[in-house]
Amino acid sequence: MAEPWLSAEEIAAHLGVTKDTVYSWIAEKAMPAHKIGRLWKFQASEVDDWVRSGSTEGT
């Protein structure tokens, strides 16, 4: 079964941060996100791998 796409609000809750932090990470730190229309969508597995790689350090 395919992994569901998460909204910015859902991925923020998953990570324990605010939506503003998520949008900041997209802009500044190349957080893995996919723009679908005007909305950002996320796959939890991609984001979890990105966090484990240490890409959020320094925030």
Backbone angles phi, psi at 25, to 5 degrees: -65, -35
Q: What is the rounded distance in angstroms from the CA atom of residue 8 to the CA atom of residue 19?
A: 6
Q: Which H or E run includes 49?
A: helix 44-52
Q: How many CB atoms neighbour CB 42 within 10 A?
A: 24
Question: Are 8 and 23 a contacting pair, CB within 8 Å?
Answer: yes
Q: Is the pLDDT of residue 1 over 90?
A: no
User: What percent of the chain shows pLDDT beyond 70?
Assistant: 97
Tell me the domain boundaries of the chain. 8-52
pLDDT tens string 27-54: 998 899 999 999 999 999 999 999 999 8
* Between 58 and 25, the higher pLDDT residue: 25
Per-residue confidence (pLDDT) for residue 14, from 0 to 100: 97
C-alpha span between 56 and 50 (Å, rounded):
8
